[in-house]
């Protein structure tokens, strides 16, 4: 049996809280874990439908015997105790619209190059699409995927919004609802390596990655996906 990657005290403390909480909040099924390599850097690119998603992304990566490092809003580091957990477990703060914005990508790239498993939600927030499909994503994921040159694994959650719907302020933990978390095969980005990195290339790679996420979600939902990504500010 392959040895589990060690996460340290603060990560183990988080596991002790997150693992039973994820079990209590839903009947989750984790699929496609063999697509996450046993060692070496890997970027997990996921959709975002509920504030509960990180619980299940974390369990997915953890049960693949890896330690997940999330790109998370820097405001979480202002919460007492949570700051120690996030810092101690190697999570990566995301600063937006500030001089520190590029530092997040540098930190994530370094983590990947050091052989870590990094999880990113390219939409930046839970989707505004009324039907729960992915929104047009930010291009930081493409810059990260190209610069790090590691396997990029698409992943989806479905069912978490039925438990916690953040925009409509609905929390319905009972009865426990089915949740699916699934990984797909790594996306081949070899055609983009070595090309000049400009806005067009970043947009193309971002849409390619989120297209794979959308297709994977379509399979999980067993229904056709829309042809376009939902855009922020689009009227429903």
Centre a 10 Å sphere on the Cβ of residue 193 and count the other Cβ atoms it contains: 8
pLDDT of residue 234: 54
pLDDT confidence of residue 102: 80
- For residues 63 and 74, what is the distance between their CA atoms, to the nearest angstrom? 26
Mean pLDDT, to the nearest integer, of 64-91? Answer: 89
Give burial (CB, 10 Å; 0-12/13-18/19+) of 201: middle
The larger pLDDT score, comparing residue 196 to residue 203, is at 203
Q: Residue 73 to residues 17, 226, 227: CA-CA distances in angstroms?
A: 20, 28, 29
Return contacts of 185-190, CB within 8 angstroms, 24+ apart.
185/35, 185/153, 186/35, 186/151, 186/152, 186/153, 187/45, 187/145, 187/152, 187/153, 187/154, 187/212, 189/145, 189/146, 189/152
What's the predicted TM-score (pTM) here? 0.93
Q: Could you tell me the pLDDT band of residue 103, with boundaries at 50, 70 and 90?
A: confident
**What is the pLDDT averaged over residues 73-77?**
86
Which pLDDT does position 170 carry in this prediction? 94
Mean pLDDT of the chain: 92
- pLDDT over threshold 70, residue 110: yes
pLDDT over threshold 80, residue 4: no
pLDDT: which is higher, 72 or 2: 72
Mean predicted confidence (pLDDT) in 93-116: 84
The yes-or-no verdict on residue 127 having pLDDT over 60 is yes
**Judging by beta carbons within 10 Å of its beta carbon (0-12, 13-18, 19+), is residue 66 exposed, middle or buried?**
buried
Band (99; pLDDT cuts 50, 70, 90): low
9-31 core/surface letters (b: 16 or more CB in 10 A; e: else): ebbebbbeebeeebeebbebebb
pLDDT the model gives residue 177: 97
Domain range 27-161+178-221, CATH architecture: 3-Layer(aba) Sandwich (3.40)
């Amino acid at each position: 049996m392959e040895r589990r990657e060690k996460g340290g005290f603060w990560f183990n403390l988080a596991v002790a809280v997150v693992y039973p909480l994820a079990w209590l909040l839903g009947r989750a099924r984790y699929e496609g874990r063999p697509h996450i390599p046993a060692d070496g850097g890997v970027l997990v690119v996921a959709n975002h439908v509920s504030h509960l998603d990180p619980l299940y992304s974390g369990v997915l990566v953890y049960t693949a015997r890896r330690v997940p490092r999330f790109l998370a809003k820097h405001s979480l580091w202002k919460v007492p105790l949570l700051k120690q957990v996030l810092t101690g477990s190697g999570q990566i703060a995301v600063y937006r619209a500030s001089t520190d914005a590029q530092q997040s990508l540098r930190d994530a790239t370094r983590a990947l190059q050091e052989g870590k498993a990094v999880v990113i939600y390219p939409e930046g927030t839970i989707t505004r699409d009324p039907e729960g499909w992915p929104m047009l994503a930010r291009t930081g994921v493409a810059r990260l995927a190209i610069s790090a040159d590691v396997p990029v694994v698409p992943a989806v959650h479905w069912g978490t919004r039925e438990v916690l719907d953040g925009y409509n302020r609905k929390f319905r933990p009972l009865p426990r609802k089915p949740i699916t978390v699934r990984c797909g095969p790594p996306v081949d980005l070899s055609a983009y390596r070595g090309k000049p990195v400009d806005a067009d290339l970043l947009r193309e790679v971002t849409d390619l990655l989120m297209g794979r996420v959308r297709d994977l979600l379509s399979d999980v939902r067993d229904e056709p996906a829309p042809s376009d990504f939902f855009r922020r500010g689009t009227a429903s």
